[in-house]
A and B are shown apart, each in its own frame.
Chain A
Amino acid sequence: MNPTDGCQRVRGRMDELLDDALAPVEAAFDRGHVEACAECARELLRREALLDGIRRATAPDPLEVARAVTGTLARLEGASLAPPPRREAGERRRAIVMAVATLAAAAVFLALLESAGLGVPRWSAPRLPAWTVSIQAGADLLSGVGLGGVR
Chain B
Amino acid sequence: MDTSDRDLIARVLDGERERFQELVRRHAGPIWSTVRAALHNAEDARDVFQETWLRAFERLHELRDPSRVRAWLVSIARNESRARLRRKGAFDAASSGTEDALVDPDAHDGLDHLARTEELGGLRVLIERLPERQREVLDLRLNHELSHGEIADALGITPENSRANYYQALRKLRAWACDDEVTT
Residues of A within 8 A of B (CB): 11-12, 15-16, 19, 21, 43, 46-47, 49-60, 64-65, 67-69, 71-73, 75-76, 79, 81-86, 88-90
Contacts and interface: CB of A to CB of B under 8 A. Distances in A.
A87 B17 CA distance: 13
Given A11-B106, A58-B127, A59-B143, A76 B24 contact: yes
Contact of A50 (B24, B111, B163): B111
B142 A84 contact: no
B36 A64 contact: yes
A112 to B, nearest CB: 40
Nearest to A90: B15
A49 B111 contact: yes
Contacts, number: 123
Contact of B120 (A57, A60, A83): A57
B119 interface: yes
Interface string B23-39: 01100110011001000
Nearest to A52: B115
Interface stretch (B51-59, B68-76, B94-102): B51-59
A38 B17 CA distance: 56
Interface string B135-173: 100110111000010000000000000010011001101
Contacts of A60: 29, 32-33, 36, 143
Contacts of A52: 115
A83 B60 CA distance: 10
Contacts of B174: 47, 50
A44 to B, nearest CB: 11
Contacts of B106: 11
Given A50-B177, A73-B21, 10 more contacts: A50-B173, A54-B127, A54-B142, A54-B173, A55-B143, A58-B33, A68-B49, A69-B25, A72-B50, A84-B57
B84 interface: no
Contact of B111 (A11, A21, A47, A73): A47
Contacts of B139: 58
